[in-house]
A and B are shown apart, each in its own frame.
Chain A
Amino acid sequence: MNTGKLYVSVSAEFDRDGNMRPSVIHLDDGRDVKIKRIKNVTRAASLRAGGQGTRYICSIGKQDIFLFYEEPRWFIEIRS
């Protein structure tokens, strides 16, 4: 069933203070989506996908992706 939740692989960078910043989202079909800018980081629930964690609003060009770190996994909201 499509619940609007897609678990993904993520590459992340860690700064000197240990802060984590996701940089690339790896989709199952082989595409890599580069995160150009992170607009907002906050703890949030995703009612659309059914999950809860740290939400990164990521700019990937013209559109934004809601990427969640639901420890220990990452997921994106399918917003179609």
Chain B
Amino acid sequence: MKTILHVDLNNFYASVECMYDPSIRGLPVAVCGDIELRHGIVLAKNYIAKAAGVKTGYTIADAKRACPGLVCVLPHMDRYMRFSAMAKGIYSDYTDKIESFGIDECWLDMGGTDKGVQTADEIRKRIRKELGVTASVGVSYNKIFAKMGSDYKKPDATTEITEENYKDLLWRLPLSDMMFVGRATEKKLRLYGMETIGDLASADPRLLERLLGKNGLLLHRFANGRDNSEVSALNEEPEIKSIGNSTTSPRDIITDDDVRVTFMALCESVAARLRRHKMKCYTVAIDERNTELFAFTRQKHLVSPVCTADEIFAAAMELHRFNRRPGEKLRSLGVRASSLCREEGLQLTFYDDEKKQKKEAAERAADEINSRFGRKSVVHGTTMIDRELSSFLPSDDRTVSPDRFEAYL
């Protein structure tokens, strides 16, 4: 039987910040977005802040109300990326089958070893010593139980979930501790008297299917430890389904020009990333969020696939104009390219006129220049109307998202 480890770097962002600054260790700490750039929400927190009631996604004001002595620090994404890479370097001393689950979690396929717990303890020790942060590790015979094992005891602990003990350890846990059970799913299941993972595991699969569709069957299998999914090999890239960028602007987006500048900067990034992956898209979607935090998404299907900022921008602006509400102030915009296809082997259509091909060639030439002389060496003139709005670097500006599992809820 396989041995799979799931390693979770505890309170990753906050732990890295506390490692770098001994003066905040022992205090409630939250890593928060920049309030000046209007990104002022809690992205991560340490255990002390969590115990005081600080939650991911809180505004800084709410977080400080919950925990008056809270220390807020800005995120350092470069550090987190470096630490994440170093942690993977440690894992690669034990296996080459390493599958990332976000920046701070990985599954490791250890083959048929019976030394899973020993390896897990060794990895924890190395992470503590070499990186100065802690990890919790789940050891099990499938990915789901390994993940639940790493959640079982934190921080800095190893939990083994075996075929013998999974009912004792996991089945008494509340439904919300089950992977992929969010708030909405939990609510539905509770209506049918299910409170624990054990209730879910013992439920009639047909009922679950009726309630939740095929996900109901999946959850039933997972709760019973029937998960045969493989840990993918290191550097094996998952299939890309969409490429998107979004930004919360430093000031409200009010005029048409504001929208144009922001969309063009986003489209430049999305298009460049499409070309880097040698892909084109058939669908363009926009996300808009106004100052009342009302959000909507609209998408448009294109006749022929595109990979230039100009064409994506045209589609985005068309969607925007069609759905605009007069006088609305926008706070964040996003552009997403989906229905992707490989650019090679694409059949030329009547729409692929010479002008279109020239545009594509021009943007590819700009990619070369930007890679040689630095980002934004060549940009569309539209983005220069307002440099404040277009100054962000979308494709590098890695989203510092709230803890993933909280995002599911």
Q: Give the B-binding residues of A (Cβ under 8 A).
A: 1, 3-4, 42-52
Contact = CB atoms under 8 A, between A and B. Distances in A.
B19 A43 contact: no
A3 B129 CA distance: 19
B397 interface: no
B22 A45 contact: no
A50 B20 contact: yes
B131 A52 contact: yes
Interface in B13-51: 19-23
A44 B130 contact: yes
A12 to B, nearest CB: 22
A57 to B, nearest CB: 14
A49 B86 CA distance: 20
A48 B132 CA distance: 10
A48 to B, nearest CB: 7
Nearest to B89: A43
Interface residues of B, number: 13
Question: Which 10 pairs across A and B sit closest by C-beta, in order of nearness?
Answer: A45-B132, A43-B130, A50-B22, A50-B20, A50-B21, A3-B22, A47-B132, A45-B131, A52-B132, A44-B130
B22 A4 contact: yes
19 contacts: A3-B22, A44-B129, A45-B19, A45-B128, A45-B130, A45-B133, A46-B132, A47-B22, A47-B132, A49-B22, A50-B19, A50-B20, A50-B22, A51-B20, A52-B19, A52-B20, A52-B83, A52-B131, A52-B132
A15 to B, nearest CB: 24
Contacts of A48: 22
Nearest to A43: B130
Given A3-B22, A52-B83, 7 more contacts: A4-B22, A45-B19, A45-B129, A45-B130, A46-B132, A52-B20, A52-B132
Contacts of B20: 50-52
Contacts of B132: 45-47, 52
Nearest to B90: A43
A46 to B, nearest CB: 7
Contacts of A47: 19, 22, 132
A51 B83 CA distance: 12
Nearest to B130: A43
A50 B133 CA distance: 11
Contacts of B19: 45, 47, 50, 52
A1 B132 CA distance: 21
